[in-house]
Amino acid sequence: MKFKYLIMAFSMLIVLFLLITALLPLFVPEAAQVVNLRYVASPLLILMSVILVSFGIFFLINYRLFLLLEREDWPALAYYLEQKIFVKNRYNSWFVRLLASSYMVISDYPSVLKLENKAFLAKKSVVEKNVLIFGSSRVISGDYKGAAAFFKTHLDNGRLKKQDREWVTWFYGFSCLLDSAFDKAEHEFLSMAVSSCSVLITGISAYFLANNLAKNSLRRQDCLVAAEKGRSRVVGALKRYEEWKKEVKKTEAEIHVAVVRKYVDEAGIWLFSGKGTASHDKRQVTTGHKSGNIENSSHAAKHKVNDHEASYTIISDKRYIQEISKIKDFKDQSSANQDSANQGSKNQDSKDQG
């Protein structure tokens, strides 16, 4: 739904409530009851009027922001937010989060790091509230060692919100895995597979233990046992694969989930396949998808796996993360080459006619 229609609908509901509250005393016959009703209704009328006015002012102030979000014009949105943050020095968490997300969608990772550094100097708490975005940007840009150090630093300072801490811990382990620090990744995933409160984190931790870390660990059996415990916890909580997809859908708007969406999809297949390895049935799940305009459908076709062998190597994992950022550049270059070819053809036709 478009933002303006959503806001109009909400405003109409408030106006309707105000009218009902204001006109209700007219339908009460007794004067004493009317006085009591007005005494109760007056504070509500004032409160709802304030909410309506505040909501209208908020919409008018941020009208251009909502318009750019609706159009998904990410470069223009990034420029607009840069003026708000860098020029007007408005380092609030919402603006910073939107700008970082916009940079990631257009694959401008150096600007994400620049934003993080400036926000840290201006308002440190803003960075702490957006650790997952700034950290996942390092992951998707290929700086795995830097990502692991970043996540570890914020885990140690103890200022993370409870709902973010588990994802930050998981991304720390994932960064270590991509950096080939298997012992550190194993330690984190072993813990999360058997104790995490999130079914998604439990599931993908178990998936990596069974399909990646068990191959590189001196404690192979421990990894497999923990993976099976994690699988049992998820299956016991969700029962069916469709329930897993519902859980994924709840978080698909989060850009840190979009970064690892391929693995989330694969983990779901593995968890509910009833086998020790995942079964990649394209009739059930399409691993190529579009989430937050980070497109990776072309890469899905590059992986051809046997139904009985769905374990990806760490090199393949790294290549997938790196290629997410290359796909858009490839498409842009292809479009530019096509435009150039079309222009050259037009020029040749003009010469022939001359």
**Would you tell me how many other CB atoms lie within 10 Å of the CB of residue 37?**
16
Residue that wins the pLDDT comparison between 222 and 8: 222
The pTM of the full predicted model, rounded to 2 decimals, is 0.68
Q: What is the pLDDT of residue 303?
A: 31
Structure tokens at 189: 């995933």
Q: What is the pLDDT of residue 335?
A: 45
CA gap 282, 338 in Å, rounded: 32
Q: Which helix (H) or strand (E) holds 294?
A: strand 294-295
CA gap 81, 77 in Å, rounded: 6
Q: What are phi and psi of 32, to 5 degrees?
A: -65, -40
Q: What is the pLDDT of residue 349?
A: 53
Residues linked to residue 309 through DSSP beta bridges, in sequence order: 306
> What mean pLDDT comes out for the span 147-151?
96
Structure tokens at 84: 């708000």
Structure tokens at 280: 């990649």
> What mean pLDDT comes out for the span 129-150?
94
Residue that wins the pLDDT comparison between 142 and 59: 142
Digit-coded pLDDT (tens) for 212-248: 999 888 899 999 999 999 999 999 999 899 999 999 9
Please report which confidence band the pLDDT of residue 307 belongs to, taking 50, 70 and 90 as the band edges: very low
Position 59 pLDDT exceeds 90: no
Residue that wins the pLDDT comparison between 176 and 327: 176
Q: What is the pLDDT of residue 3?
A: 57
Checking phi first, is residue 107 left (phi over 0); if not, alpha (psi -120 to 50) or beta? left
Digit-coded pLDDT (tens) for 255-302: 899 889 999 999 999 999 864 443 333 323 322 333 333 233 223 322
Helices (H) and strands (E) in the chain, counts: 19, 2
- Structural contact between residues 163 and 197, judged by C-beta atoms closer than 8 angstroms: no
CA contacts within 13 A on the Cβ side of 214: 20
- Structural contact between residues 179 and 148, judged by C-beta atoms closer than 8 angstroms: yes
Q: What is the pLDDT of residue 83?
A: 93
**Burial of 243 (C-beta count, 10 Å sphere; 0-12/13-18/19+):** middle
Position 304 pLDDT exceeds 60: no
Q: What is the pLDDT of residue 347?
A: 54
Please report which confidence band the pLDDT of residue 24 belongs to, taking 50, 70 and 90 as the band edges: low
> What mean pLDDT comes out for the span 193-207?
94
> What's the CA angle centered on 72, arms 325 and 260, to 5 degrees?
35
